């Protein structure tokens, strides 16, 4: 029997396959490894074409640690299954995510990512019932819950948008960034934070043409990541204790 598959289904499948292939061929990888799913601190390494760049960076995760997010590539989660990222859980997303844009307070940036100028009118919507949920938009005035991208505390002076929950599945978490830390070892509400000098360096390094991704995991998933990304064999964070 001949089965006719609608064109839009074929197109969506091909787009998904192409995007997944791009992620596995990423030339720039930011690797964040925490001791376990409940750790609010972790360490970060940057790789390009299999070579480690910069020194290892100390970063902060959510107050409650990690929970599995909705990334572009699903992890098997053999050892840490069951804990999924939800809106307001104060956990940073674990998984494999694209890094889509940079943002900051300066009108221009020398980053090679698409750049968002964080003005006072730019917001990220975290209202799960809003049409613009998990989107960065210009404020309309009728939003019930959002955060300003230009903050008085300077935490978003430099930052990178993490491609978590890009389909805006309601309640599965929103507005996830790499950004400046409040203080050393100060947990976040779900982002990954670090020193200003470190995030500035990362923003300047990232290049959209090199398919940058974030791999953020508990140490238990190190073997799975190495299996998928053998170019990370030089990582000290993925070595067995």
Each of the 241 residues of the chain gets a pLDDT tens digit; together they read: 444 545 444 444 333 444 444 455 679 999 999 999 999 999 999 999 999 999 999 999 999 999 999 997 777 665 556 689 999 999 999 999 999 999 999 999 999 999 999 999 999 999 999 999 999 999 988 889 999 999 989 999 999 999 999 999 999 999 999 999 999 999 999 999 999 999 999 999 999 999 999 999 999 999 999 999 999 999 999 997 6
pLDDT, position 141: 80
Q: What domains can be seen in the chain, in order of their start residue?
A: 15-232 (2.40.440.10)
HEC-encoded secondary structure of 18-81: HHHHHHHCCCEEEEEEECCCCCCEEEEEEEECCEEEEEEEEEECECCEEEECCCCECCCCCCCC
List Cβ neighbours of 21 (8 Å cut-off, separation of 6 or more): none
Report d(CA 17, CA 45) in Å as an integer: 27
pLDDT at 19: 40
pTM of the model: 0.88
The Cα–Cα gap between 63 and 86 comes to 14
3-state SS of 201-234?
Answer: HHHHHCEHHHCCEEEEEEHHHHHHHHHHCHHHCC
Q: Length of the chain in residues, anyone? A: 241
Predicted confidence at residue 154, as pLDDT, reads 93
């Amino acid at each position: 029997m001949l089965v006719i598959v609608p064109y839009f289904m074929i197109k969506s499948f091909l787009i998904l396959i192409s995007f997944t292939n791009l992620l596995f061929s990423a030339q720039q990888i930011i690797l964040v490894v925490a001791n376990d799913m409940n750790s609010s601190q972790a360490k970060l390494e940057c790789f390009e074409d299999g070579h480690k760049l910069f020194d290892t960076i100390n970063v902060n995760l959510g107050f409650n640690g990690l929970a599995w997010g909705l990334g572009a590539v699903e992890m098997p989660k053999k050892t840490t299954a069951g804990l999924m990222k939800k809106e307001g859980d104060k956990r940073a997303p674990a998984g494999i995510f694209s890094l889509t844009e940079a943002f900051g307070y300066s009108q221009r940036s020398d980053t090679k990512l698409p750049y968002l100028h964080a003005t006072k009118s730019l917001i990220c919507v975290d209202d799960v019932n809003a049409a613009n949920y998990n989107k960065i938009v210009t404020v309309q005035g009728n939003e019930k819950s959002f955060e300003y991208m230009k903050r008085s505390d300077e935490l978003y002076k430099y930052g990178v948008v993490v491609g978590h929950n890009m389909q805006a599945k309601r309640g599965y978490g929103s507005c996830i960034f790499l950004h400046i830390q409040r203080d050393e070892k100060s947990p976040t509400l779900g982002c990954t934070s670090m020193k200003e000098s470190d995030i500035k360096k990362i923003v300047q390094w990232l290049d959209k043409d090199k398919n940058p991704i974030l791999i953020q995991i508990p140490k238990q998933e190190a073997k799975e990541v190495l299996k998928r990304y053998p170019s990370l064999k030089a990582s000290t964070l993925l070595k067995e204790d």
